Structure 1
Amino acid sequence: MPETPHETRTTTEDLDFRTATTADVPALVELVESAYRGDSSRAGWTTEADLLEGQRTDAEGVTAAVTHADGVVLLAERAGELLACCQLERRGERAYFGMFSVRPGRQGGGVGRLVLAEAERVAAEEWGVGELEMTVIEQRSDLIAWYERRGFRRTGRYTPFPYGDERFGVPLRPDLRFETLTKALSKGSAE
């Protein structure tokens, strides 16, 4: 099992980052669900409630991400309150960036930018990878634009939405698909 030398550290605005453990799974499931599904997600701008019903994730999926041998789930907390999270998974010279969630009431205040910056730092400096890769539902043009403003580029590569697999939600329209976005990173001292 490769080491993931990531220690708790504080960045600007008293945001503490740490690696999630299996004890964090219930809180992570609640955070991800609150950011994307149901009425509570409408308090933020990342909601998918107009595209999908049902669950966004479950304890099994989050546990798999937390315990992945080549991955880490980063938590962002302020004064002990879980505000945001993201998943990183090492895939050769790339790192997959996913499960990015910011508590709806905290969206728009810079927390997401700080989490993304920390994920980029871990991927580049600690893992020595040169690129982040992620997938976004193509119909989320506002979200894609946010990522583009932060240096991601659209690749034109698409993968189908897993229709019929309710672990990923119940689609409210027939044309959902994911687009892959990538961002080049400057490798740090980990090379």
Structure 2
Amino acid sequence: MDIAPPQDSGEMTLTYRDAAECDVEVLVALIESAYRGDSSRGGWTTEADILEGQRTDPQGVLEVISAPGSRLMAVERDGEVVACCQLEHRGDAAYFGMFAVRPGLQGAGLGRRIIAEAERSVRETWGVTRMHMTVISVRQDLIAWYERRGYRRTGRMTPFPYGDERFGIPQREDLAFELLVKDLV
């Protein structure tokens, strides 16, 4: 699916499309601004207190865009990319990741609309019945947000890749990824 019709909930019309190679620079900047550094503190999804360094890089974003069974959904408002998320087909499930909303737009319901569109899209496009994601387990506020959207904690943990600076520089010793799941039926 390349382009979804715009959605309008009164104040903000959004357009959803598959990201292309020409979007990589803009998407890296968006993802970094939502999670790392001082700019991320303008929103509530910041990881700046638990991780320094990069969240992603151009190669990582390009890999998501170009991998078979993978999409990076770009979300535009007035022709400008304001959010994105990774969707990857994994059998009867889809993986949701690399979710970023411009910090100044966080907290206004945009994320809720985007995740609903992502769920609709993977059901329609791939016929999947579940969505999976991993969240850093110490991010209780973020996990609670996903739980309010119907995701449930599984208790299944994956170690954080300490020593691999492509994922950031940990500021704590207790980081791990927890698998969250949601049935899409």
Which band: TM-score by shorter chain? Answer: over 0.9
Question: What CA distance in whole angstroms lies between the structure 2 residues aligned with 1:129 and 1:6?
Answer: 18
Partner of 2:167: 168
Question: What CA distance in whole angstroms lies between the structure 2 residues aligned with 1:83 and 1:90?
Answer: 24
Q: What is the deviation of 1:152?
A: 0.1
Partner of 1:11: 7
8 Å contact from structure 1 (residues 6, 122) kept in 2:
no
Partner of 1:58: 57
Asked if 1:126 corresponds to 2:125, the answer is yes
Alignment of 1:7-156 (within 5 A): 7-12=3-8, 13-156=12-155
Question: What CA distance in whole angstroms lies between the structure 2 residues aligned with 1:28 and 1:139?
Answer: 25
Partner of 1:178: 177
8 Å contact from structure 1 (residues 87, 99) kept in 2:
yes
Amino acid at match of 1:29: V
**Moved beyond 2 Å, runs of 4+:** 5-8
**% identical equivalent positions:** 60
Name the SS for the 1:33 alignment partner.
helix
Amino acid at match of 1:10: P
Q: Deviations over 1:36-67 (max 9, x none)?
A: 00000000000000000000000000000011
8 Å contact from structure 2 (residues 83, 100) kept in 1:
yes
Question: What CA distance in whole angstroms lies between the structure 2 residues aligned with 1:8 and 1:182?
Answer: 24
8 Å contact from structure 1 (residues 9, 18) kept in 2:
no
Name the SS for the 1:11 alignment partner.
strand
8 Å contact from structure 2 (residues 3, 15) kept in 1:
no
Q: What is the deviation of 1:30?
A: 0.2
Question: What CA distance in whole angstroms lies between the structure 1 residues aligned with 2:173 and 2:61?
Answer: 26
RMSD value, Cα: 0.8
Q: What is the deviation of 1:68?
A: 1.1
Q: What is the deviation of 1:6?
A: 3.4
Question: Comparing both structures, which one devotes a greater share of its residues to strand?
Answer: 2
Name the SS for the 1:122 alignment partner.
helix
Structure 1: runs of 5+ lacking an equivalent: 187-191
Q: What is the deviation of 1:91?
A: 0.3
Q: What is the deviation of 1:8?
A: 3.8
Structure 2: runs of 5+ lacking an equivalent: none
Question: What CA distance in whole angstroms lies between the structure 1 residues aligned with 2:182 and 2:173?
Answer: 29
TM-score, normalising length from structure 1?
A: 0.94
Aligned length: 182
